[in-house]
Amino acid sequence: MNHNIVYLIRTVRCCGGFRVRPTRTYMLGTNKYKSAVQSTNLKKVLVNIPGSWLESRLQFLPQETRDFSTEVADVNEQRDRKTQLHEQSSMNALNVIRESAGDERNLQMEGRSQFQLFTDALETCKTPCDVLDLLATFGYSSKVISSSFCALWKLIKNMPADNKLSERQMIFEHPAFVVASQYLLEHSVNIWGKDLVCSLHAAFNLGVSQNSLLIQTLLRVCHERLNEFSDNCLLHLVCTIQKMEKCKNVDALQLGLQMVVKQRMPEISDINLLQSMMKHFGKGAKLCLKKQFENRVLKQMHSLTSENAKSIFNTLGVMNYTSIPILDGCSKKIVANLPGSTVFDFNRILNTCYILRYYNVEMFLAIESYVTTFIKLRSIKQLVMLLSVFENLHFRPTKLLDIMAEMVINHPESLDLKDLLIILWVYSQLNYVPKGQDQQFFEALSCSLSSYLLTICNVDLLKAVFSFCILGYFPQAALNHLMQKDVLSDLLKPGGANLKRIERMLHTVSVCLKVDRNSFSEPASMLQQKSSFPIALTSTEVREVLQTILQDTRKFRHNVQLEHGYYAHFEIKMDAERKKFLPVTEAHDPANLSAQRVVFLCASRNSFCLDMCPRGNLAVKMRHLKALGYHVILIHCLKFQDLGKEEAVKFLKEKIFSADN
């Protein structure tokens, strides 16, 4: 709203010629306008205040009980009388406004000098009681009270935690605070918007109960006067109610704020202010508001700096809103301006990519290259943090993985248990073994794990051993500890958390010991013949292509159960040189070397890294099936579905008759 209009409204209110009703807000969803004092519904909210708060803190009702029904009648009668006078003599009212406006300006000039004296004295206050004592010596006004409340909150915020409770109690019991709060209650409709919002923010953060008369009244008045607030006031108000619990006034104010921001969005020139508002609205923002924000950002995309791009990335993550045009544009600016960025910046960007399921390999490679070339990683924790996010994104940063391997080999003692578990999980799921130094790397990790065997919980021990087995390494000390009867019993106890996942991991460990290290005999309590990879729905596209190639449905089987609880989507049988197909109905004889069993595994996108390398579970399954004598053909379902019929037939034929095993 124009500043001059706001000033005129305040002048009219103060001069008493007639009462200008605030602009009717459209957020309430009703046709009838109700002010904070006139609302009978609000009266119920204000009266039903916890007695303990009234007794121990702000005691507005016991000694000076306000009769709201009488007050409502007086206000209505006064408003009608003033309106009638205005209708009888509008010219006289305008003359009164002019004269009163002049008097008001003089009073404000005098008030500003008094206020300046107050603010100068306020800077010398060292404790909250000093502020309240100073407030008692000055005449009460909205600016003085707002400044006092803000000063109280600033002093409390910077205090040690041990002193905050006692200081807050002293504030609530101070007579000046009670009088100031009463003043806010009675004059909240007329005070400046900035003072109103700042008072609400400070009072709530000081610890005044959200259910109190003061906070609920300020919330309702803020709701009525939303259209009068500046953009900065709106942002301040958004930040305040973000910390509050849900209630009718907060919900109505939140909805009203979104509608006002939507209305003003084309006029807000400061993109930082706009995205700050959207960040505080978060996931709760309406879809139409998110789309309007998207359009607003796209119009200014050419003028965004790299810092703007990083901030907008974060804002989209907080909103949980995936806008590919914005993300692509911001990614280009981030990649072009990597110098000066920190590991923390990259971690935040990558976390946002994970939240929004945004996979930009070009940006990932640029970040990896910059980190390995220009940023000196001072600790393993910084690298662990990055690798963990990259793993969530299914991206294999091979350079960073090699650097981590060297750091672990050189300083295995620097790993704490949390970092150790993350490292094992990242390498196993990304299916990456450092070339040329794999044995030293595994031994360093195994030695570090052995140092925690006396303190590690059983679930974490299982996770660590599971990751080692996925990588094809078997730490003897950790395995012996895991195979103890009491440990297995604790892991498999009925009703335990994540029991199905634990059973699947134990089964994988058991199969790895049998297939990869057949000299090891595990206890009978280990799970037997339980599928660690449940069968998924068969790909109809693959089935149709196999029928086209084989010309006979008897020459392939689908949803086939294999050894050790593994499944295959399809199976065919070929001669030893894989030149012709054999009927699969014939009994399989392991001693018959003239037949080759070929299995097809149809995997989803989540089973692959972004470079199409199979991830941990799929990789170990392929390794085991090959060790059992199968020829494994891996099919990426989504990519296969994108192929035409002829291309799919050609692709599958090349896989079937390929000499690679």
Kindly report, residue by residue over 429-479, the tens digit of the pLDDT: 999 998 888 889 999 999 999 999 888 999 999 999 999 999 989 998 999
User: Hey, what are 117's tokens?
Assistant: 């004296």
Instruction: Output the average pLDDT for the chain.
Output: 77
Q: Residue written as tokens 């050790």?
A: 564
Segment 656-661 mean pLDDT: 67
pLDDT tops 80 at residue 293? yes
Across 11-15, 37-41, 222-226, least confident range: 37-41
Quick one: pLDDT at residue 449? 92
Q: How confident is the model at residue 125 (pLDDT cuts 50, 70, 90)?
A: confident
For the stretch 554-570, pLDDT in tens is: 778 888 888 888 888 88
Quick one: pLDDT at residue 4? 56
pLDDT tops 70 at residue 294? yes
pLDDT tops 70 at residue 514? yes
- Number of Cα atoms under 13 Å in the Cβ half of residue 368: 20
Quick one: pLDDT at residue 521? 55
pLDDT tops 70 at residue 500? yes
Q: Residue written as tokens 């609205």?
A: 281
For the stretch 144-163, pLDDT in tens is: 788 888 888 888 888 777 77
What pairing do the DSSP bridges indicate for beta strands 556-561 and 567-575?
antiparallel
What are φ and ψ of residue 147, in 5° steps?
-65, -35
For the stretch 92-109, pLDDT in tens is: 333 433 343 344 334 444
User: Hey, what are 127's tokens?
Assistant: 């404790």
Q: Which residues pair with 614 in a beta bridge?
A: 608
Q: How confident is the model at residue 589 (pLDDT cuts 50, 70, 90)?
A: low
* Distance (Å, whole) CA 619 – CA 477: 25
For the stretch 614-627, pLDDT in tens is: 999 999 999 999 98
Quick one: pLDDT at residue 591? 52
Q: Please, which residues have CB within 8 angstroms of residue 394's CB and are 6 or more apart in sequence? A: 359, 606, 608, 609, 610, 615
Quick one: pLDDT at residue 425? 95
- Report the SS3 class of residue 459: helix
Quick one: pLDDT at residue 151? 82
For the stretch 414-428, pLDDT in tens is: 888 999 999 999 999
Quick one: pLDDT at residue 257? 86
Quick one: pLDDT at residue 142? 76
* Distance (Å, whole) CA 339 – CA 359: 22
- E strand or H helix at 572, and its extent? strand 567-575
Between 532 and 592, the more confident residue is 592
Segment 68-77 mean pLDDT: 43
Across 280-284, 374-378, 539-543, least confident range: 374-378
Q: How confident is the model at residue 401 (pLDDT cuts 50, 70, 90)?
A: very high
Q: Please, which residues have CB within 8 angstroms of residue 606's CB and are 6 or more apart in sequence? A: 394, 615
Answering whether pTM is above 0.85, one says no
DSSP-assigned states of every residue in 494-557: TT-TTHHHHHHHHHHHHHHHHHT-TT----TTS--S--SS---PPPHHHHHHHHHHHS-GGGEE
> Do residues 281 and 319 make contact, with C-beta atoms less than 8 angstroms apart?
yes
For the stretch 29-67, pLDDT in tens is: 333 334 443 333 333 333 334 433 333 333 333 333 334
Quick one: pLDDT at residue 593? 59
> Do residues 533 and 566 make contact, with C-beta atoms less than 8 angstroms apart?
yes
Q: How confident is the model at residue 214 (pLDDT cuts 50, 70, 90)?
A: confident
